[in-house]
Amino acid sequence: MVGLRHPHVRGLGMTAQRNRKRLVDRLYEEGIRDDRVLKAIGTVQRHRFVDEALANMAYRDTALPIGHGQTISQPLIVARMTEALLEPGPFDTVLEVGTGSGYQAAVLAEIVDQVLTVERIRPLYQRAGRLLRELGYHNVRLRQSDGSWGWPQLGPFERIVVTAGGEQIPDALREQLAPDGVLVMPVGPSGRQELIRLTRHGQDWERESLGLVSFVPLVSDKI
């Protein structure tokens, strides 16, 4: 009955599902192999994380504007970063710096027990919080603050992912990494960074480059 009264709603759901399947196939072609990541991207309703006017572009493999000069990241990059966190082994909790739309947090929340995410821009923090609750992601905890300082009260963290680019990895984030913890972050000048995976081995650090990426800058201070 609901389907008959609101055929467009039903139709949109089915189209979105088909488009998500196509996106997953594309990510597989691009080399994403982790089933947990492919399944999560095939599940999370990316069209809900962008403005309605952009919903028809939500399953293209591109970054899209989310207001306040920020973007929802390209699905391939979300997938690569998530794979880079998962590859060294399983984990329960991850700290994300740069909530933005909340999409990456939702993808992580499909895979791990708890996602902690920090956003500096208040309206984005509020919107992402509302949406994640509405979509039932009760394992995501949000905070509005300058994420360069991490979330010291809740650390250390097994994994940290930074979804904005900085010239260096902030010391506070290194310090909040657990032994054998892994941090993934774009490092370099705005729009032209290297995706770095940093692994803590006791007193030693292993630094790997996972290729070039283009992210908005990590900015100190909250607004």
Which residues would be at the binding site for ligand SAM (CB under 6 A)?
Answer: 70-73, 97-98, 100-101, 103-104, 118-121, 124, 146-148, 163-164, 215-216, 218-220
- The pair of three-digit structure tokens given for residue 181, joined into one six-digit string: 């913890």
What share of residues in the chain are helix, strand, coil (percent, to 5)?
40, 30, 35
Tell me, yes or no, if 220 is annotated catalytic. no
Query: Which amino acid is it at 181?
Result: G
CB of 45 to ligand SAM, least distance (A): 13
- Return the number of the residue (38 or 44) whose C-beta is nearest ligand SAM: 44
What are the backbone angles phi and psi of residue 59, rounded to the nearest 5°? -105, 15
Evaluate whether 94 touches 115 at the Cβ level (below 8 Å): yes
Pick the closer one to ligand SAM by CB: 100 or 188: 100
Nearer to ligand SAM, 12 or 219 (CB): 219
The minimum distance between CB 158 and ligand SAM, in angstroms, equals 19
Q: Which of 73, 148, 209, 214 is catalytic?
A: 73
Q: How far is CA 14 from CA 8, 19, 31, 42, 64, in A?
A: 10, 9, 26, 13, 22
- Could you tell me the smallest distance in angstroms from the CB atom of residue 166 to ligand SAM? 8
Catalytic annotation, residues? 73
